[in-house]
Structure 1
């Protein structure tokens, strides 16, 4: 039996209410080795503070926040679209923090989140999307399957949560 998963955009008024659940997903992903801007150990306070800043950005209209929830409303995954761009880039947006809780992986949730972020970007009149990910990661293969174009790789771009260097691959997609 396939569990129901709903992907939806979180409104400005409810983003703050999602902070604790989003912190759970972030901590789980970082503890699982995701290089998404945080080092181990990732404290709950730091994760909550990050998501509060995201919620503030949603409230200011600088970013969109999407979540994937199970039938009980538990957040299983998330992705953001940063839409506040310089004046000369009104057509562009950055995709950020595509995260799926480890217990919910291999169910097509990441693929659904990426399709939903494309739709959300179109509604915002964005025609060029940009993202980056760890070179050789499962996410890199996901983006390629979703029609993203590889731009290039930067060695030693970031650190894994445990401290070793990792290369980052940059992608773009025209909508």
Structure 2
């Protein structure tokens, strides 16, 4: 399935609902995007509202992939740094691909669209992202050109007795 990626799409009810559905489905499939399954749309919605508020304030941008019927199949947010010495790079976060599309190259396409979007931003030289250990995500991001630049052991507590590394990855854009 081919997705069409858009940077800074218009936010309407269909996009909001699509993002909530994507985030819920990906989380419940074990995706490492801020929640531990099981989650409901009602669990996800307040976090999405925070993301949308940051977009409205100009602190965050969105890359979204939709199928031919307009359904949201992939998304990632780009957040600007507020510290004056770190404004030359952005964070990619809440990176998600619908579970039904995983293993088909959609994640790689999403990360390419994220890099393309970041290259259009004035003064941005790199993208950083954090990922949760234990999923092999660092291997996926490395295959997209990112390099591991930091790791904090056991920094993410998924559940009692289940601590994961917090891994920082970097993609230079120059």
Per the TM superposition, whether the score is higher than 0.5 is yes
What are the ranges of 5 or more consecutive residues in structure 1 without an aligned counterpart?
Answer: none
Judge which range, 34-43 or 127-136, deviates more: 34-43
Judge which range, 144-153 or 30-39, deviates more: 30-39
Q: Using the TM superposition, give the Cα deviation of residue 159 of structure 1 relative to its aligned residue in structure 2, in angstroms.
A: 2.8
Counterpart secondary structure, 2:37: coil
Counterpart secondary structure, 1:87: coil
Counterpart secondary structure, 1:152: strand
- 8 Å contact 2:89–2:127 — kept in the other structure? yes
Counterpart secondary structure, 2:87: coil
Q: Using the TM superposition, give the Cα deviation of residue 136 of structure 1 relative to its aligned residue in structure 2, in angstroms.
A: 4.4
Corresponding residue for residue 154 of structure 2 = 156
What are the ranges of 5 or more consecutive residues in structure 2 without an aligned counterpart?
Answer: none
Aligned-partner Cα distance in 2 for 1:71–1:167: 37
Corresponding residue for residue 129 of structure 1 = 127
Q: What TM-score, normalized to structure 2?
A: 0.88
RMSD of aligned C-alpha atoms?
2.0
Q: Using the TM superposition, give the Cα deviation of residue 162 of structure 1 relative to its aligned residue in structure 2, in angstroms.
A: 8.7
Q: Give the alignment partner of residue 93 of structure 2, picking from 93, 96, 106.
A: 96
Q: Using the TM superposition, give the Cα deviation of residue 152 of structure 1 relative to its aligned residue in structure 2, in angstroms.
A: 2.9
Matched residue count? 172
Q: What TM-score, normalized to structure 1?
A: 0.88
Q: Does structure 1 residue 27 correspond to structure 2 residue 24?
A: yes
Cα gap change, 1:27 to 1:163, in 2 (>3 Å): farther
Q: Which has the higher contact order (CA 8 A, sep 6+)?
A: 1
